Structure formats: structure tokens, C-alpha cells
Amino acid sequence: MTAEGLNVMTERLFESALGLSPPWYVAGTEFNVQARTLTIRVDFASGTRFSLPGLGGEHAVHDTLPKRYRHLNFFQHECFLEVRVPRVRLPDGTVRQVEPPWAGKLSGFSLLFEALVVMLCQQMSFAGAARLVGESRHRVAAICQRYVELALAQADFSQVHELAIDETSRARGQSYISLAADAKQRRVLAVAEGCGLDTIAALAAELQQRGCLPGQIRSLSIDMSPAFIKGCSEQFPNARITFDKFHLLCHASTAVDKMRILEQHTERSLKGLRWPLLKDRARLTPAAAAELDALIAKMSTLRTARAWLYKEQLREILARKQINVVRAMLRHWCSCVMRSKVHPMKRVASLVREHLEGIAAWAQTRQTNGFLEALNGLFQAAKRRARGFTRMSTIRTVIFLIAGKLDFRLINPHALQPT
């Protein structure tokens, strides 16, 4: 085979690999071993007329612009497409550029390359993905931010009726962000800075932009933060508020630990029992369970043992499904606790009395923030991998990448289906 025939065969091979169809074709290739790059020159057939989205008819080419797109690597070599991009003249005399079918949403990249970047950044930090693809961290972050904003602009939350709202730390100190999530689909819908009244208003405004009207929310799961309670009551007037069951049990566990700390100064047998007291008994080792049983046998003399029993009673009450029964049992539980000398648990009883209806609502709604706590854990892990985030825009992008379940296929056919 002649050198010319070999070149033609190579060009046809790359056309097939790139998925090019007329009028586009490969006009030549250049392989640089030293620079470890492959450059593919793409052109279009002479005399071709192009159409533009939203405009009828086909238009003659006015002139061309040279463009360079980063594509998927050719084995370990960086691959670039050098393209003569046409500009067409419209009937009104204006000149518009034609976007090639493989052009990405950020200038200088192909759709396939951007799909790879987004997939990588859902699993690792921007810096890690940048090292793999050989681009700067800032360019990689810009691709992801662009895709998140485009996907959100096309998202429709009009069928969302159950929300969960929770906060998580964005940095050391009193620096928080709050998330609103679809309680059924378990996906983040909105992100706002802070954890106060203004934050809830910002979340409601962002949801409304995506078609989720405040009046359509029927059920809402939050913790017992006064700001969250007031803000959600104002912004979502038709929502039935359920206070997160696990948040309440966390308060009860904290009370048990406080009682243990106070009592262990005089009762040496409490040393080393922190985790057996806080963990689910079914998950304890036989030795730890035996130690716990020995402690509970002393409930008549040890307040820590009574605190543990109160916590377990609260767990059993919340496992019931009859709201009237749950309401009555919670009131009785509060009366027993308030008559005891387990002072840390009395604060929990006061909390239950103050928020009785929202806690009892769990019996019917069965709605918690447990899945949102798991999503918060994913964000915290991503934050540790990246050594922290400074910009709110970066935080939004990362959260929606890992927990938004956005369908990027609407803007890039090569993107993976959300899971």
C-alpha cells in the first residue's frame, strides 16, 4: 500500500472513531512523539450550507475560524482537534458561528472530554481529576460548574412534595451551609449559605425558581433549631413539620454521656463504658454487652443506668406507628424523667414537651433526615480530599455533583445516567 493510501485509511479510521459524518471529515493528522500529542485536523466539504438552532433554512458559509478542542487521550497521548469552524451569514446580514456537533459547553473542549471530566469529579477531587486528564484544576472545576448550572436550569422540581432540610459545616468554626433535599428521591435540590431565617428564605426562593412552589410542600423534616422551625413555618405554610427522630435520639445519647461523666468521678465501674452506653446493644460484642447488663442491674443506685433506660424507652416509643399512642407515651415518659434525678435527661424531656406534635408526627410520616446526614458525610469526605473549599460556588458545584442526581444527558449525550 502506498503512503497516500495509508494516510487515507488512517483518516477514515479516525473519522469512524470520532463519529464524524458529512460534511465533516478528517483532513490530516499529526503525531508528536516528543510532546506526546496527537493532533487531528477536521474540515468540512466545500460548498456546504449550515443550519442554526432556532433558525429556519440553511445558510452559506461567510468565513471560518480556527478552533482547537481538547479531546479524549489517544492511549497515553493528549489528543486535540484542530477545526475550521464556519461562520454563516444570515438573511438579516448578521454573521453567526456554527457550533460543531462535538463542541463542548466550555470553550476548548469536546463533549466526550467534558463527560469524562464530570464523571471523574463525581468520584474524586478537582485536583485529582485534573492530574488524570492533564488539565488545570481551575479548568476542570469550570467544566463541572458549567454542567451543574446548565442541568439545574433545565431541572423541574414541580412534583416534589416532601422536603428534608439540614445544615452541615463548610469550614472550621461557626460556618455552615444548609441543604434542601427531596425526601422521596433522596437528592439535593437547593443549597444556601448559613443556617438561619435568611437561609430558609434563600432555599425556598431557589426551589421556586425550579418549579417547586412553597405551597405544594406537604411534609417537611428538620431538626429542632428555632431558626429552622420559624423559617419553615413562614416559607412553607402548608407543610406538616416532622422533627428528625435521630436528632432527638442524639440528644438523648448526649444526655446519657453527660450523666456518665458526672457520675464516674464517684463510681469507678463506669470507666471505659462510654461506647457500650452509646451504641446499639445489638451491635455490641458479648463482653461489652455483659458489662452493660451488669451496669443496668444497678439502675436503683446508678443514675447513668437510669439515663440509658430512658434513652432506650424513648427509642421504643418512637418505633410505634399509632400517633395517639406515641403522643400519650411521650407525655408519660416526660413526666417520669422530670420526677427523676437524671438532670441531663430532663433537658431532653423539656425538648420533647416543647416539640411534642412534631416529634409525634414521625409515627405517621416516617420522615427523617437520615439520608441527608449520609449525603452530608459524602460532602465532608469530598471537602477533606480537597483540603477544604473557599468559594460558595465551588461548594454548590461539589454538592450537586455528588448528591444532586442531575441528569447531564440532557446537555451531553455522552454523560452517564444518574444513580
Same domain (yes/no): 253, 234 = no
**In the chain, helix, strand, coil percent, each to 5?**
50, 20, 30
pLDDT over 60 at 393, yes or no: yes
> Is residue 73 domain-shared with residue 130, that is, in the same domain?
yes
User: Does residue 416 fall inside a structural domain?
Assistant: no
User: Half-sphere exposure (CA, 13 Å, Cβ side) for 245?
Assistant: 20
Q: What is the pLDDT of residue 1?
A: 53
Is there a single domain that holds both residue 238 and residue 249? Answer: no
Examine the domain organization and report whether 373 and 334 are in the same domain.
no
Q: pLDDT at residue 387 above 80?
A: no
Domain match, 146 and 13 both: yes
What digits encode the pLDDT tens for the residues 70-120? 999 988 889 999 999 999 999 888 999 999 988 999 989 999 999 999 999
Give the pLDDT score at 173.
67
Mean confidence (pLDDT) of the chain: 90
* Strand, helix or coil for residue 251: helix
- Lowest average pLDDT, out of 52-61, 201-210, 214-223, 286-295, goes to 286-295
Give the residue among 301, 295, 292 at the shortest CA–CA distance from 342: 301
Rounded Cα distance between 323 and 236, Å, is: 23
CA nearest neighbour of 412 among 206, 10, 106: 106
Structural domain includes residue 414 = no
Residue 55 is predicted with a pLDDT of 83
- In the block, which residue shows the cell 445544615? 167
Q: What angle do CA 262, 169, 217 make, to 5 degrees?
A: 105
All three cell numbers of 199: 437561609
Contact 78, 104 (CB under 8 A): no
Question: Considering the domain boundaries, does residue 405 fall inside one?
Answer: no
Q: Is 168 in the same domain as 146? A: no
Name the domain count of the chain.
3
Global pTM reads 0.86
Same domain for 323 and 384, yes or no, is no
- If you average pLDDT over residues 43-49, what whole number do you get? 93
User: Sign of the CA dihedral 177, 180, 186, 188?
Assistant: negative
CA distance 407 to 263: 54
Q: Is the pLDDT of residue 54 over 90?
A: no
CA distance 293 to 224: 32
**pLDDT of residue 315 exceeding 90:** yes
pLDDT at res. 318: 94
Same-domain check for residues 28 and 44: yes
- Which pLDDT tens digit goes with each residue over 171-213? 776 689 999 999 999 999 999 999 999 999 999 999 999 999 9
Residues constituting the chain: 419
Positive or negative torsion for Cα 303, 305, 308, 313: negative
Exposure string of 2-34, with b = 16+ CB inside 10 Å and e = fewer, is eeeeeeeeebeebbeebebeeebbbeebeeeee
Query: Cis omega before residue 23 (within 30°)?
Result: yes
Residue 210, domain CATH? 3.30.420.10
Residues 194 and 266 occupy one common structural domain: no
Most confident option among 7-16, 44-53, 170-179: 44-53
- Are 136 and 204 within one domain? no
pLDDT at 86: 95
Which of 150, 165, 197 lies at the terminal end of a domain, its last residue?
Answer: 150
**E strand intervals along 246-368:** none
pLDDT of residue 242: 96
Average the pLDDT over 35-55 and give the result.
Answer: 91
For residues 261-289, average pLDDT:
82
Q: What is the grid cell recorded at 195?
A: 443556617
Q: What is the pLDDT of residue 163?
A: 96
Name the domain boundary from 133, 150, 167.
Answer: 150
| Phi, psi (degrees; rounded to nearest 5) at 313 | -60, -40
What pLDDT does 8 receive?
A: 67
Report the pLDDT value the prediction gives residue 414, as an integer from 0 to 100.
87
Decide if 406 is inside a domain: no
**268: pLDDT strictly greater than 80:** no
Classify residue 403: in a domain, yes or no.
Answer: no
Residue 419 lies in a domain: no
Specify whether 205 is located in the same domain as 280: no
| 38: region left, alpha or beta (phi > 0 left; psi from -120 to 50 alpha) | beta
Does residue 388 surpass a pLDDT of 80? Answer: no
Query: Where residue 221 falls among pLDDT bands split at 50, 70, 90?
Result: very high
Alpha-carbon distance 21 to 25, whole Å? Answer: 7
Give tens-digit pLDDT for 28-44: 989 998 889 999 999 99
Q: Is 278 part of a structural domain of the chain?
A: yes
Domain that holds residue 270: 245-365
pLDDT above 70 covers what percent of the chain?
97
CB 156 within 8 A of CB 142: no
> Confidence class of residue 258 from pLDDT cuts 50, 70 and 90?
very high
Percent of the chain exceeding pLDDT 90 equals: 65
Cell of 279: 451504641
What pLDDT, on a 0 to 100 scale, did the predictor assign at position 2?
Answer: 59
Task: Locate 294 and state its grid cell.
Answer: 451488669
Phi, psi of 143 (to 5 degrees): -60, -50
Say if 144 falls within a structural domain. yes
Domain boundary among 96, 125, 150: 150
List, in sequence order, every beta strand (DSSP E) within 20-174: 24-32, 37-44, 49-52, 55-74, 77-89, 95-97, 162-171
Record the cell numbers describing residue 116, joined without a space. 469524562
| Run of H or E residues at 242 | strand 240-243
Q: What is the mean pLDDT of residues 337-363?
A: 95
Q: Are 68 and 109 in contact (CB under 8 A)?
A: no
Residues 275 and 300 in one domain: yes
Question: Is the distance from CB of 397 to CB of 143 less than 8 angstroms?
Answer: no
Backbone angles phi, psi at 231, to 5 degrees: -65, -45
Please enumerate in sequence order all residues whose Cβ is within 8 A of that of 127, keeping only pairs 6 or more positions apart, or say none. Answer: 137, 386
CA-nearest of 255, 354, 373, 258 to 314 is 255
pLDDT at 5 over 60: no
